[in-house]
Structure 1
Amino acid sequence: MEAEAATLRASVAAHASAMVKMGLEFTYAQGLEAVREVADGLPLFLDLKLHDIPNTVASAIGSLARVRPAMLTIHASGGRAMIAAARRAVDETFPEGARPLLLAVTVLTSLDAEALHETGVESDVADQVVRLGRLAVSAGADGLVCSPHEIRLLREALGDGPVLVVPGIRPAGSAAGDQKRIMTPAQAHAAGADYIVVGRPITRAPDPAAAAAAIAAELSA
């Protein structure tokens, strides 16, 4: 985990990343104090994907004030009451001007139609993403986490208001891994992503800072 933390800071130091992203693996292994130490004043995308009953999610958000995230994730599938409770907790917990963007995860990028159907959802992936996107934004989410394949559908359904944060990004030639719905950084940018999320192609590269810088250069071009 120390190597992962160094990688995160190296990518930002190379001016190739807008913020540091930390999720379940690092937070569970090292705790919130380590999250705060690694971020060290840099914008923090805290990707914990909270999903529980409304009161529990609200209480969990209350405990996150000390790390001051710029973005925070919940699962849209937690339902309207949970999303609304999360929004109230964000508004009440963080000082004015320091409130993180509340982002609702629609359908995980590791899921395709077959995997989604196995969970009991009969809709196809695109319909489910739009359904959850509408629900989340109407309940108070600032934006959504979606695969690059659903960017245009969400823009058509919801307009330019919601912030779209897009994982499932793989530079040309990178292994897809467990991601099913992927695009290159340039393709996602062209489709209308506000932020792209790149993990393993950077953290597992021989030179992570150089890999991050190459992605930034692709986006600039």
Structure 2
Amino acid sequence: MQNTVIIALDFPDRSNTESFLRNFHGESLFVKVGMELFYREGISIVNTLKEKGHRVFLDLKLHDIPNTVHKAMKNLAAAGVDMVNVHGAGGISMMAAAKEGLYAGSSSGQNPLLIAVTQLTSTSEEMLNEELLIKGCSLDQAVLHYALNAKKAGLDGVVSSVNESTVIKEVCGSQFITVTPGIRLAGGKVHDQIRVATPRDAAIAKADYIVAGRSITEAEDPRAAYTQIYQEWSGQQHEITYR
């Protein structure tokens, strides 16, 4: 499981990002670049992170008509991202088009992992039923249905909370990966997320990757927080990977 703790670089700009990463000087990380940072810095921030030896999960949750997503994925693949996602609500055809575009644009010889967002960790069942008008559907049912659609489209896996990871593995197979956001150390703040869990919860649920953001980026000692999360997640001492 080495380096399958993904650090969410939820910073407003390059300066703040680079300041944070100095806490891990010389270490190769797996990091997530989301909308906030990407929309400010563009593809150049991905290029910089790759040049520094980090793996990059580009978290843009593409959701558009199949042709548009195909073309967007082709461009993103050229940047050498290691993982990228779409929103499962776009449907099977859109997800399949994303995969085609991603593979067409990849020149590294190793295609990036492509995953789908099932339901945001800020979504509750009440929101699903009342605000989104998906009546009579439990959150678990919605997540599993989206996961099955992603598998039909040929994707590598899904983003889901710890709560659904185990059943997704049971239904979609052990090779279908689950990426679990909303990771908090015991007693940590949940902020605007509802379905959160500890690193150990994620390990028990057989998640393949966990994503931790503010638990690390807002910690007094980010490196110590990262190490603690890694150890709880993997059950072993953290081994630093130097470039």
Q: Note the alpha carbon deviations across 1:36-55, whole angstroms, 9 max, x for none.
A: 11332321111111111111
Compared with structure 1, are the counterparts of its residues 31 and 158 closer, same or farther at alpha carbon in structure 2 (3 Å cutoff)? Answer: same
1:87 and 2:103 aligned: no
CA contact (8 A) 2:179 2:209 kept: yes
CA contact (8 A) 1:105 1:145 kept: yes
Partner of 1:182: 196
CA contact (8 A) 1:65 1:94 kept: yes
Q: Name the one with the larger helix percent.
A: 1
1:121 and 2:134 aligned: yes
Q: Note the alpha carbon deviations across 1:68-112, whole angstroms, 9 max, x for none.
A: 111001001100110010011112111363210000010110001
1:202 and 2:182 aligned: no
Compared with structure 1, are the counterparts of its residues 217 and 50 closer, same or farther at alpha carbon in structure 2 (3 Å cutoff)? Answer: same
Partner of 2:185: 171
Q: Provide the secondary structure at the position in 1 that maps to 2:45.
A: helix
Output the amino acid matched with 1:42: H
Structure 2: gaps spanning 5 or more residues: 1-12, 236-243
Output the amino acid matched with 2:112: P
Question: Which of 127, 142, 154 is 2:168 aligned to?
Answer: 154
Alpha-carbon distance in structure 1 between the residues aligned to 2:170 and 2:144: 10
Partner of 1:97: 109
1:3 and 2:38 aligned: no
Aligned residues: 219
Deviation, 1:127, is 0.2
CA contact (8 A) 1:8 1:20 kept: no
CA contact (8 A) 2:78 2:107 kept: no
Output the amino acid matched with 2:35: L
CA contact (8 A) 1:14 1:213 kept: no
Q: Provide the secondary structure at the position in 2 that maps to 1:164.
A: strand
CA contact (8 A) 2:87 2:117 kept: yes
1:111 and 2:123 aligned: yes
Q: Provide the secondary structure at the position in 1 that maps to 2:114.
A: strand
Output the amino acid matched with 1:39: K
Deviation, 1:11, is 4.6
Compared with structure 1, are the counterparts of its residues 29 and 154 closer, same or farther at alpha carbon in structure 2 (3 Å cutoff)? Answer: same
The worse-fitting range, judged by mean Cα deviation, of 82-91 and 65-74 is 65-74
Q: Provide the secondary structure at the position in 2 that maps to 1:67.
A: coil
Partner of 1:28: 39
Output the amino acid matched with 1:36: N
Q: Provide the secondary structure at the position in 2 that maps to 1:49.
A: strand
Percent identical among aligned pairs is 41
Q: TM-score, normalised by structure 2?
A: 0.85
CA contact (8 A) 2:202 2:233 kept: no
Please give the root-mean-square deviation of Cα atoms over the aligned residues, in Å: 1.7
Structure 1: gaps spanning 5 or more residues: none
